[in-house]
Amino acid sequence: MKYRKMGSLDWDVSVLGFGCMRLPTKKENGNEVIDEEVAIKMIRYAIDNGVNYFDTAFPYHNETSEIIVGKALKDGYREKIKLVTKLPIWRVTKREDFDNYLNTQLEKLQTNYLDIYLFHGLSKRTFELVKKYEFIEKMEEAKTAGKIRHIGFSFHDSYDVFKEIIDFYNWDMTQIQWNFVDHNTQATTKGLEYAASKGIAIVVMEPIKGGFLTKTTKEIENIIENAPIKRSAASWALQYVWNHPGVSVALSGMSTLDHVIENIESANKSGINSLSPEELNIISDMAIRFKTKSLIPCTLCYYCQPCPSGVNIPKNFGMLNELLWVENREEFIKYYDYFAKTKEELNESRNNGNAALCVQCGECLEKCPQEINIPYELEKVHLVLGEGQEFSKVFKLFIRGPKIVEKEAFQIVGIEDVGKREKRNVPQMWAKFYEIIYKVQNRDGSHGLGISLSSKELLKKGEDRYIVAQEILKVEIIPEELIIEKFPAQKYAVFTHLGKLDNLGETFDFIYGEWLPNNSRYERVPFAPEFEWYDQRFQKDSDTSELDLYIPIREK
C-alpha cells in the first residue's frame, strides 16, 4: 500500500480510503439490508492489506453503516486504522443535538474516540447552522474531552462557499467531490489546491462518480484498449485523483471483495504527478464520452432517502440513466414494474416506490449534493419508464447538464459587434478574429468564447453586444481592431450542446423555456454575460461535436 502525509497532521494515510456508504446488501423480510458477513470480511481484508482510513456517516444504509463498521473493527482492528464519521448537520435543531449524535455514533461504532469528526455535507445553508449553534466550539470541547482527535467537514456547494468555510477556521481536513468529469464543479480543482496550500488534508469522495466511471461504451473500451498502459476504467479514474499532489486520500465506496482487491492493486501503482501528458489526454477523451452517457447526474449517494412518499429516487434515476447504455431498451423498461406503484405495494416493499408516487413535497431538494431538480426529473422518468413515451420526446438527447460552476474573474481580447442579432455574421467575425489574434501574446489559445451581452438601452433598441474572443492573462500590445474587457467572478449553469449546430436554438429554448422557469433555486442574472465555450471538442458539422453554454445564475 502507498501512503501519504495527511495534510499537516502527524500521520501517514493510505492513498485508498474505504467509504462505507455502498457496503454489500441483501434482501431480508422485503427490505434491503447490509450483508454483514460479507461487509466485515471486506473491511478486514482491506485493513490486512494496508488500508488505514475508513469513512462512514450517521445516515448511511438507513443508519446501520456505523453499526457494521463497529463490529468489523473488533478483535484489534480498531487500533490499526483511522476512523471517521460525520455529524448530520441538516438534522440538528438545537445545540444539544451535537452531543446526542456524537455519543450515539461512538456507541454504534464501539469506540471511545474518532480520529476525525466531520460536519456532514456543508453548504451555504448548513454552514449557517454551524455558526448559529456555535458547533465549532462543540467540536473543540469534544476534542478536549478526548472523544475526537481532529476536526473537518465534507462539502457540497460552490467554490465561493468552499473558500468561505476554509477561511473560517483552522480545519484539519476537508472532503470534496472531485474526479476527471467533475473537476470543475462544487469545490473545483482551484478549491482543492487552495485548501491544500493551507496544509489542510484533502480527502476525495466520488473519485469514480458512484461507479458511473466504470461503465463503458465501445468507444470508451477502444480508448482503454489502445492506451499504452493497461488499466480498468475504475483504475484510470482513481489514478487521475492520485496524480494530484494535493490529494491525501481517494475514498472508494466498495460493494464487493473484488472491488477491494482491484482498488488496492491500483493504489499500489499510484503516484503524484505520475501520469504522462499522453495518459492525461486519454482521460480527457474518456471524460468527453462519459458526459454524453448521463442524463441525470445522480451519483447514488442516497442522501435524498428516505422519501416521505416512499419513492426510491436513486434507483429510479439509475434505471433511467442505464437506458443510455443498453441496446434492448423495451426489455429493460420492464424492470420498472418491480417498483411499488401504490401505497399498498409500498407496505410490502418499503421505500422502493416508482417515480409516479412523488407528490413534489420538495423535501429532497436541499439534500441533493448534485443540485438535481428531483421532482421535475422524476416526472420525466415516469413518462419514459412508466408510460412508455419515446426517450427522445421526453429528454433532450442533444443536451447535457447543467453543471453548476464558479468561474473566477477573467479578461478577454476580442472583436465586438453591437447591433441586431439577425443581421450579424458570426462566422465572418471569427474569420477576422483569427486573422489578427496570432499577434497577441499571453492569450489562452485552448478555447474561444462567443460572448453575448445586453443592457437596458440595447434591449430597448432590440440589439445586443457579441464578442468573439479568447481569454488573456496579461495585456501588452494589442492591435487596434481588438478590444479588452474584464468580467467579474460569476456562478454559471453550464449546459453542453451535443452534435451539429442545427438544433442549437432548441437547446436555448430548453434552457430558457423549461429549465429556468422550472428551477426553484436559481434564476438568470440580468444583463450578466453568457457565452459559448469552443474548445477541441467543437467540430462545426460533426455529430460528435460538443459546445458548452455558460448561463449566469444566482440564488433566488
The tens place of each residue's pLDDT in the chain, 556 residues long, gives 999 999 999 999 999 999 999 999 998 887 889 999 999 999 999 999 999 999 999 999 999 999 999 999 999 999 999 999 999 998 999 999 999 999 999 999 999 999 999 999 998 889 999 999 999 999 999 999 999 999 999 998 888 889 999 999 999 999 999 999 888 778 889 999 999 999 999 999 999 988 888 888 888 899 999 999 999 999 999 999 999 999 999 999 999 999 999 999 999 999 999 999 999 999 988 887 787 777 788 877 888 888 999 999 988 888 888 777 776 777 777 778 888 888 888 876 667 889 999 999 989 988 888 788 899 899 999 998 899 888 878 888 788 888 888 888 999 999 999 999 899 999 999 999 999 998 899 999 889 999 999 999 999 999 999 999 999 988 888 898 999 999 999 999 999 998 888 889 999 999 999 999 988 889 999 999 999 999 878 888 887 788 999 999 998 8
Q: CA 56 to CA 477: how far, in whole Å?
A: 56
Which residues pair with residue 153 across a beta bridge? Answer: 119, 174
pLDDT tens for each residue of 34-62:
999 999 999 999 999 999 999 999 999 99
Classify burial at 502, counting beta carbons within 10 Å of its beta carbon; exposed 0-12, middle 13-18, buried 19 or more. exposed
Is the distance from CB of 108 to CB of 67 less than 8 angstroms?
yes
Helix (H, G, I), strand (E, B) or coil at 232: coil
| Residue 327, pLDDT score | 65
> Quick one: pLDDT at residue 300?
77
Per-residue CA distances from 467 to 433, 448, 476, 531, 534 (Å): 10, 10, 20, 9, 13
In whole angstroms, give the CA distance from residue 35 to residue 18: 16
Q: What single DSSP character describes residue 550? A: E
Could you read off the pLDDT of 114-129 as tens digits, one per residue?
999 999 999 888 999 9
What are the φ/ψ torsions at residue 131 (nearest 5 degrees)?
-75, -40
Query: Positive or negative, the Cα torsion across 468, 473, 475, 476?
Result: negative
Q: CA 278, 282, 286: angle at the middle one, nearest 5?
A: 170
The whole-number pLDDT of residue 349 equals 65
pLDDT, averaged across the chain? 91
Quick one: residue 360, left, alpha or beta (phi over 0 = left, psi -120 to 50 = alpha)?
left
The SS3 assignment for 162 reads helix
How many whole angstroms separate alpha carbon 110 and alpha carbon 117?
Answer: 15
Beta strand 173-177 pairing with 201-205 = parallel
Distance CA 241, CA 252 (A): 11
Q: Which domains does the chain have, with CATH numbers?
A: 3-269 (3.20.20.100), 313-395 (no CATH), 405-555 (3.20.80.10)
CB–CB of 152/121 below 8 Å? no
The tens digit of pLDDT for each residue in 82-97 reads: 999 999 998 999 999 9
Taking Cα atoms as reference points, which of 269, 256, 431, 115 lies closest to residue 105?
A: 115
Alpha-carbon distance of 552 to 523, in angstroms, equals 8
Cell numbers placing 199: 496544509
Burial class from Cβ neighbours inside 10 Å (0-12, 13-18, 19+) for residue 56 reads: buried
Q: Strand pairing partners for 61?
A: none
Cis amide linkage into residue 402, ω under 30° from 0: yes
Burial class of residue 336, CB neighbours in 10 A (0-12, 13-18, 19+): buried
Share of the chain above pLDDT 90, in %: 65
Question: What is the predicted pLDDT for the residue at 192?
Answer: 96
Query: What pTM was computed for the model?
Result: 0.72
